[in-house]
Amino acid sequence: MINLDKDAKISIATSNLGQGNNLMFNSSQALTIIGQGKLSAETSAAGSAGNIDFNTEILTIEGAQILASTSSSGDSGDITVNASQGFTLGSNSKLSVETSASGGPGNIKITTQNLNVEEQAEITATATETATTSEQGGSIELNASNMNLFGTVGIFAETQGAVPAGTLTLKPNDNQTNLNINLTPGAEISASTSGSGQGGSLLVSAPEAIKISGLGKLAVETSGIGAAGDIAFDAQSLTIQNGAQVSASTSGSGKGGSVGVNVNQLNLNNGAEISASTDGSGKGGSLALNARDEINIGNSSQVLAETTGEGAAGDMALNTQRLNLEGGKVSASTSGSGKG
């Protein structure tokens, strides 16, 4: 166990031209980090920051901040978690990579069987408003068969300025075939832009089945002039249920992202929603739902392409052998000044 009090800090910093050292934590069984302190790998010079690596069976972080960042021309380090059985990011904890200058961003890669993200915790890859790197912002790759987000939590790949946001990838770990994502109210997984940079894409895939459940959302968003990225699903079957939302939206002048689904069977149950919308001046993104066998939309679930602002709504295409609506809805609409 590592106990970090509020002001405690374990840091590897680069302030010259050399490559920063790595910060590595290895345990053959379980590793727990508690407290409100910080573990960081940072560079404020031309030298690249080191990496932060965790290798164990079960990793638990309770309250601590894990950060890899650059505020200079040196590249940021990466954060890598290999926890074969489970990784819990506890309440108020944060795992983040950040670039705020010309240095290249780091990436986050998590490989585990069960990923739990608890109340007020975050996993983020951010290019700040002051970032000037020629590369895209940091990417997040989550390889976990079961992803559970509890409460107001977030997994974000974002840009606040001109630098394009990184990619957010979700898939099962190792040779697993199914991906289960469980969301409680307030939980969000998103790739976004609030500046002029292109928003990141959200890629979700599994060899067989993807199931998304609960009152949270997966989203690509723009609230600035930068275009949003896209959401893409690739599996044999995709089930979205129990109030879960998949959305591509714009509330600024940037073009909204698109939602693409490539499966054999698509199921929306119990108030689930797939939408592409605009309530700003930017054109809404498109929906392309390709289900080779069938699409089932039931129990107050809906597929929407809509505008409530000045921007035109995007296109909608459903390609399938069978479309079954049992209390569900497919709608393209406008309630603003934008073209439907």
CB 30 within 8 A of CB 60: yes
Q: Which amino acid is at 47?
A: G
Instruction: Give me the count of residues in the chain.
Output: 340
CB 238 within 8 A of CB 207: no
pLDDT digits (tens, 9 = 90+) for 311-324: 566 789 999 999 99
Count of CB atoms within 10 A of residue 335's CB? 11
Asked whether the predicted pLDDT for residue 254 surpasses 80, the reply is no
In the prediction, which pLDDT does 339 show? 46
Rounded Cα–Cα distance for residues 202 and 323 (Å): 26
Question: pLDDT class for 268, splitting at 50, 70, 90?
Answer: very high
In the prediction, which pLDDT does 8 show? 83
Q: What are the Cα distances from residue 46, in Å, to 69, 106, 147, 314?
A: 13, 15, 37, 44
Domain boundary assignment for the chain = 1-176, 207-340
pLDDT digits (tens, 9 = 90+) for 31-88: 999 999 999 988 776 777 789 999 999 999 999 999 988 787 878 889 999 999 999 9
Rounded Cα–Cα distance for residues 162 and 216 (Å): 28
DSSP letter string, 291-303: EEEEEEEETT-EE
Q: Which amino acid is at 79?
A: I
Asked whether the predicted pLDDT for residue 336 surpasses 50, the reply is no
Please give, one letter per residue, the 3-state secondary structure of 129-167: CCCCCCCCCCCEEEEEEEEEECCCCEEEEEECCCCCCCC
Euclidean distance between the first and final Cα of the chain, in Å? 57
Question: pLDDT class for 337, splitting at 50, 70, 90?
Answer: very low
Residues facing 193 on adjacent strands = 159, 222
Count of CB atoms within 10 A of residue 174's CB? 10
pLDDT digits (tens, 9 = 90+) for 93-124: 999 998 887 887 889 999 999 999 999 999 99
